[in-house]
Amino acid sequence: MTTPRTEHLVLPGVLTAGQAAATVAGLLAAQREDGAIPWFRGHHLDPWDHVETAMALDAAGEHEAAERAYLWLAAHQNDDGSWYAAYADGDPHAVTDRGRESNFVAYIAVGVWHHYLSTGDDTFLDRMWPTVHAAIEWVLRLQQPGGQIGWRREDDGTGTADALLTGSSSIHHALRCALAVAEQREEAQPDWELAAGTLRHAIRRHPERFLDKSRYSMDWYYPVLGGALTGAEAKARLEEGWERFVVPGLGVRCVVPNPWVTGGESAELALTLWATGESDRALEVLQSLRHLREPTSGLYWTGYVYEDDAIWPRELTTWTAGALLLAVAAIGGHDATCAVFGGERLPSGLEADCCA
């Protein structure tokens, strides 16, 4: 018998009630007492995947655990509003990558808004507002005149003008969630609205402004998942790349032409398909990931090299399970997850289709 906390995580051919509970328990076991969620125990933490897993915990009704994850970020935010790209498991002061990546920093806005919609906790939103505000301001200092956002700043302060389509698409989503937080608190942010519009225009109309990573499946679906492409444009993009990236019965390639399917990308594609009204195809993609499930822990292997019939790498990553739970929660009608990834209720920023 399912409980109200997990009934939306039961999906035929993907998760039974018992399997859903085991996966959630696996994520909770990986989280440290201070709230940090590493890729797996003994590996590093990065801020983006930490947030994705926290959202999965909220989707499972584990709100206290999710809140601890966000408070960890608030406690470890750099003075300039950023976070480092990677922290050693068990020692937040042991930084393994001192660069700061713009999409990693921005993503807290998505998680904070998701947590608020999951809990209705105004006190939490007030507490996290300075953290979100500082993070978004840091990210927008890397926005280029063409709207795209430089993907990284080094520890010495050196930034790059090079932009990644996947990262900028994720930031577009984060900006919309940040605007939702600001709107809820009646804190107008016109600069953020303009930034979101110019970024969306760059993603939709100027692929030349981004580094060419078209071999990677994330560059294929993220403009849709991040909400920059919608409607007919979104559906056309997904159809265009389907044969290149989707391996029937196994999942989604991480990068063409490598014979390697990955659970995280597959689950995110399922979430993207759901957001475009393709729930049946989303279900098929999620069902194809059963071969990645490790039954003892309830977690999922990162990937599978199908030409060699080999699990690789031998890692049960929290973010892979987190992405799958979020996709299942969306299909299952979890309101907060639907609102955050469906996009209809998110502010869009200022339209910028007239820009050069």
Least confident range from 80-94, 115-129, 201-215, 287-301: namely 80-94
Mean pLDDT of the chain: 96
pLDDT at position 90, please?
75
pLDDT at position 93, please?
75
Q: Which of 165, 133, 137, 132 is nearest to 151 (CA)?
A: 165
What token pair was written down for 127?
């507490």
Mean pLDDT of the region 156-177: 97
Question: Does 348 map to a domain?
Answer: no
| Helix, strand, or coil (residue 141) | coil
Please report which confidence band the pLDDT of residue 2 belongs to, taking 50, 70 and 90 as the band edges.
very low
Name the residue range of residue 59's domain: 11-342
Rounded Cα–Cα distance for residues 26 and 299 (Å): 6
Residue 250 · residue 306 · CB < 8 Å: yes
Question: Does 347 map to a domain?
Answer: no
Q: Give the chain's domain count.
A: 1
Question: Does 186 map to a domain?
Answer: yes
Q: Inform me whether the pLDDT recorded for 36 exceeds 60.
A: yes
Q: Which of 189, 183, 186 is nearest to 137 (CA)?
A: 189
pLDDT at position 97, please?
97
pLDDT at position 353, please?
55
Question: Does 352 map to a domain?
Answer: no
Sign of CA dihedral 341, 330, 242, 305: positive
Mean pLDDT of the region 150-160: 96
pLDDT at position 282, please?
98
Question: Does 351 map to a domain?
Answer: no
Q: Inform me whether the pLDDT recorded for 155 exceeds 50.
A: yes
Please report which confidence band the pLDDT of residue 183 belongs to, taking 50, 70 and 90 as the band edges.
very high
pLDDT at position 91, please?
75
Question: Does 129 map to a domain?
Answer: yes
Q: Inform me whether the pLDDT recorded for 238 exceeds 70.
A: yes
pLDDT at position 1, please?
37
Question: Does 223 map to a domain?
Answer: yes
Q: Any idea what the CATH number is for the domain that residue 324 is in?
A: 1.50.10.10
- pTM of the prediction? 0.97
Q: What percent of the chain has pLDDT over 90?
A: 95
Chain-centroid distance of CA 180 in Å reads 17
Q: Which of 68, 174, 189, 76 is nearest to 124 (CA)?
A: 68
What token pair was written down for 110?
């998505």
Question: Does 355 map to a domain?
Answer: no
Please report which confidence band the pLDDT of residue 352 belongs to, taking 50, 70 and 90 as the band edges.
low
Q: What is the pLDDT of residues 71-105, one digit of tens each?
A: 999 999 999 999 999 999 977 679 999 999 999 99
Residue pointed to by tokens 């932009």? 163
End-to-end CA distance of the chain: 56
pLDDT at position 356, please?
57
